[in-house]
Amino acid sequence: MPALAPASDIHAGSGGDTPAGNLRSPGRSERRLAARLARGDESALREIEREYGGMLRGYLRQVLRDGSSAEDVAQQVMLEVWQRRTSFDPARAAISSWVMMIARSRAIDHMRRQVPEPQDPAVAATMLDSSASQADPTETLAEQWRLAHLLSLLPREEATVLRMRFHQEMSQSEIASSTGIPLGTVKMRMVSALARMRTMIEDEE
């Protein structure tokens, strides 16, 4: 596998596991990128690293709560992307979703290795029952980071009003007052931003 850029150089910027009925229509650029990757084009891997490296590392840092571990797991994820390149089908999953699926699996593997194996079989059974009854936070975080990545692709003025509305829980009137932007403009930007986000999510899914 080719050398990857260090985390400081990355900006935020398996297909086979998806049921056969859930086919999607990838864009031309994504099909070309997937084809280059499948052919073993190292520049395709570097492009994926540049595009999704920020999202990947941000998610892993939040899940693992350790920068060194996050970087190690990120390298494992990109290695797996390279190793599984011929099995990825862009008609079944977006590249970002595929990368985050691998990241979630490798993060879970890493966390499991940090937990000592219980010696008492009864304790082990109790731990398994407990974990099975709880929602998986890594899946929720993976989706949050994927949506944050999509948000970063919006025009800046549209992304700003969405962040203020949903992250800071400000009303449209409060956004207008805080930014000095006319209320009608705030509403128009929010409608446009939500429409763009909906299209991007539909394209990915």
- More confident site: 193 or 143: 193
Question: How confident is the model at residue 120, as a pLDDT?
Answer: 53
- More confident site: 123 or 203: 203
DSSP 8-state assignment for residue 164? I
Question: How confident is the model at residue 121, as a pLDDT?
Answer: 52
User: What is the average pLDDT value for the chain, to the nearest integer?
Assistant: 78
Q: How confident is the model at residue 156 (pLDDT cuts 50, 70, 90)?
A: confident
Residue 160 to residue 138: CA distance in whole angstroms: 26
Q: How confident is the model at residue 131 (pLDDT cuts 50, 70, 90)?
A: very low
The answer to whether 18 and 199 are in contact (CB under 8 A) is no
Three-state DSSP class for residue 2: coil
Residue 205 to residue 195: CA distance in whole angstroms: 15
Q: Give residue-wise pLDDT tens across range 26-65.
A: 778 888 999 999 999 999 999 999 989 998 998 899 888 8
Domain extent listing, the chain: 9-115+137-153, 154-205
Residue 180 to residue 174: CA distance in whole angstroms: 10
Residue 22 to residue 140: CA distance in whole angstroms: 21
- More confident site: 40 or 21: 40
Q: Which two tokens stand for residue 154?
A: 């919006």
Question: How confident is the model at residue 17, as a pLDDT?
Answer: 42
CATH code for the structural domain at 154-205: 1.10.10.10
Question: How confident is the model at residue 38, as a pLDDT?
Answer: 95
Name the range with the highest mean pLDDT among 5-14, 16-25, 108-117.
108-117
pLDDT for 124 beyond 50 = no
The answer to whether 106 and 83 are in contact (CB under 8 A) is no
Q: Which of 39, 62, 68, 23 has the alpha carbon at shortest distance from 140?
A: 62
CA 151 and chain centroid, separation: 11
9-115+137-153 against 154-205: fold identical: no
Percentage of the chain lying above the pLDDT 90 cut: 32
Rg (alpha carbons) of the chain, rounded to whole number: 20
CATH code for the structural domain at 9-115+137-153: 1.10.1740.10
Question: How confident is the model at residue 201, as a pLDDT?
Answer: 73
Q: Give residue-wise pLDDT tens across range 69-104.
A: 999 999 999 999 999 999 999 888 889 889 989 998
Q: What is the mean pLDDT of residues 159-177?
A: 86
